[in-house]
Amino acid sequence: MDTSGLQKGATYPEIKARVLEQTGLKVSSLYISQVKQKCGLEVRENHHKAKSKNVKQPPCPKEKEDAIVEALKHFQMI
């Protein structure tokens, strides 16, 4: 089985746990997804999509973004 195409890294729960352990901050999957997109990482389609097309998503606060970036670096995803 060829696993060369699989993305290495951590799951969202692992990232959340790392951020909580290191900073005491709780981060949502939405914030992790936003940061991953900013870093150019692949983000899969969410199966819990809103029915309305004009849904506003709150932007990730800078403090939490920095913590998520550090967790992504820890897991060697960026």
Q: Taking the alpha carbons of 48, 24, 14, 44 in that order, is the dihedral positive or negative?
A: positive
| 3-state SS class at 16 | helix
Q: What was the pLDDT predicted at 5?
A: 46
Q: Where does the chain have alpha helices with state H?
A: 12-23, 29-38, 62-74
Q: Average model confidence (pLDDT) for the chain?
A: 87
Say what the pTM is. 0.82
d(CA 16, CA 1): 30
pLDDT tens for 20-54 read: 999 999 999 999 999 999 999 988 887 677 777 77
